[in-house]
Structures are given as structure tokens and as C-alpha cells.
Amino acid sequence: MSERALILDTHKIMLEQSINQHQNIDYIRVSEPQVYFASQEKTLAKIDNIMNQTPFHYVVASSESNMAFAGFLRSRYGLPGLNYEQALCVTNKWRMRKCLEDELPAPRCWLSGHFYNNFAQCTQGAATHFIIKPLSSSSCQNVERLTVDQLYQKLTHLDTLMLIEEEIDIEEEFHLDGIVNLSEIAVACLSCYSLPILSARGQTRASIHLPSSHPMFSIAYSMAQRAITKLALKQGVFHMEVYRRGERLIFGEIGLRPPGVGVAESLLRFTGVNLWQAFVNSQLLRPINNIPSQDYHGYSGVIGVYPERLRASDLLRLPNVVAVSELEKTRHKMTRTGAHDFRYLAFASCQSLAEFHNLINQLSDSSPSTHVKREVQ
């Protein structure tokens, strides 16, 4: 009997390219809304039937949104890969914080019910704003920055459990993306956001890959390795967000999946790090091969372009832009608070950070901030 893998499909091109590298595996695809990626009775009955009729050996998650369900199925059927407990600690933000609280410095946080019942005590500190976010979400979808009074009103009428986080002053936002092999980081790349993600809604913004000689690289690398060890990840990928305040880095979040909004594609194009192939291989228990050198000399990255008056041909005429992708808008995406609505992704390579910011400024009415409040992605 040939090996089979159940794909929790979200129709991503880089997923398709990655699974096509394994022609000796039969793929069984399920997708929403035919099968909801949640442990509800109807869904489990359908997948139990698939396992009964065509037994599968692996479960392949394709998104942050279905990683926990993939872990649940692996635990349910005794399959290899991230189990449900591991998946919860990288998809449920409260569980993530509790898991890593002894390993990494992070802003204070509370569950919404506890915060509301102890409102005066929780708001006694210096913070004038708080971040409220779903327990499970990616990017800044349905994340809000609120004053103390606004938060009280929000919590008074809140009908679902959410995470509350104290806002802190930060100077820069970074993300570190990499591949893990044999429980150790095999390669990683540090990138910075040109604007804080939450406050950048409706604006052109970028993720800029930085040289491995950047002073924050080794600090972020060490933080990621501590998280990987605590999470007991043997093989896979990670996307970790951190925030700089002075010479310190503060932990934001970590996911064990490739980054979105063109970042994974950009890293593959400019650094040779194929996060999607490593992500798929790790779920299929295949070795991760062709890992590139750790050294990267930057500066390159991806720019999410907002103005609709621009065409792809206009972007390609700009200096340093090497490729452009047009994004499809969906009604579902645009109904979610904080979801990006970029028209294009522009991939660019520059000689310096200043040159990259000059390119961003050609595409945006606002210049990048140099000192901002920490606002969560």
C-alpha cells in the first residue's frame, strides 16, 4: 500500500509546489466549507470515514488557521508530527505565553474574563493602552488597540474569550524566520517591518530582510532556539516576532509555519530559504535538504502596495523592483478587522536600508516611523 497524506487544503500555490516534490505519496484533500477545520461531530465523522476507507499516514496543515486541527487529528489517530498539545502552544496565544513565560521576556497579558473581573488592579500600571486580540488568529486580524476606557466598554459587551496584552514602548519590530532540523535552528533570516503592523492598516508597508551581521540577529536567534527547545520541535519551520526596546528584544509571538503576505516567497527568492518545502517535508517525515548558508548580506524584501491607481507595469519600472504579484481580493478577507487589502506585492533588492525605505516612500504618502508604540501583529 502506498503512503497517503490528508491535506487540509487552503489552495496555496507554494503548498502545491512543495507537495508536488513527493510524487510517491497519494494525497487526500479536504477543504472548507465542505469540511470545517474544527473538532466538531460532523467533521470528525467525515474524517473518520476517510481514515476507514482510505487510511492515511500523515496530516498536512496548510495555514495557521488549521494547524491546531491538524495536531488534533494526529493525536486522534496516533500519527507522526506535531501533536495537539504542541500545536496549541503555537496557535493559542494564551497557551503560547504560558508555555514560554519562563524562557522569553514578553508584555504582561491576561484572559479577558480575568481582566474584566480585576479591571482596577490590571490597569494600575503605567500603560495607557492595551491590545485585545483573539486567542487564535494570524497577522493582526481582529486585533484592536484601545484606551483603558475603550477597553472597559469593549469587555462589558464581550461575548467571547480573548487575550488582553499591555502595550509597551518599542522602537522596532522584527521577525525571524527559519528552518529547524534535529531540534536545532539550521538557518534563519532576520527581517524588520517598515511600519508597525497594527497601525499600518491601509498603508503601503514592507518586510525587509536584514544582513546576518545585524546586531539584533544573534539575540533573536538565541530567543528562537530557546523557544524551539521548549516547544520540543524536532523538524520544521518557525516565524517569530520580536520587538526592540533599546538593546533588548521582547518576545511577541511564534508560529511553526511559514510567514504570509509574500514573505516566504521573498525569502526563497532572495536568500534561498525554502520555508514551504521544509514545512511540507517535516509534516511528511521527509528530510529537509538543500538548506542554504546561514550568511545573508541584504537588503531585500517584499512591499505590500496599497494604492489601486498603480499597475504592475508601473511598479516594475521602479528601480530595485525585480518582480510583482497581484493579489486577489476576497469579500471574506475584507470583513475581518486588520486583514490586509494590498493590491500588489512588490519584491525588491537594495544596497542599503535607506535605499529600501526610499523605495517604500515612492509608493506611500507616509514615511516610516522611527519610534512607535508596540502594536501587536
Averages of pLDDT over runs of 10 residues in the chain (377 residues) are 91 94 95 86 95 98 95 98 96 97 96 97 92 85 92 96 94 96 96 80 84 95 98 97 94 96 95 96 94 84 81 89 82 47 89 93 57 37
CATH class of 170-373: alpha beta
Q: Which residue has the cell 527568492?
A: 269
For residue 201, the model assigns a pLDDT of: 61
Architecture, CATH, for domain 3-91 = 3-Layer(aba) Sandwich (3.40)
**SS3 (DSSP) at 351:** coil
For residue 367, the model assigns a pLDDT of: 34
Instruction: List C-alpha distances in Å: 174 to 47, 144, 275, 337.
Output: 39, 20, 18, 22
355 closest CA partner among 327, 322, 319? 319
Q: Which residue has the cell 477597553?
A: 151
Tell me, which fold does domain 108-167 have in CATH? Dna Ligase; domain 1 (3.30.1490)
Question: Could you tell me the residue ranges of all domains in the chain?
Answer: 3-91, 108-167, 170-373
For residue 329, the model assigns a pLDDT of: 62
Q: Which residue has the cell 459587551?
A: 157
Instruction: List C-alpha distances in Å: 51 to 6, 31, 147, 273, 375.
Output: 9, 16, 49, 34, 43
Residues 6+ apart with CB under 8 A from 221: 176, 185, 188, 190
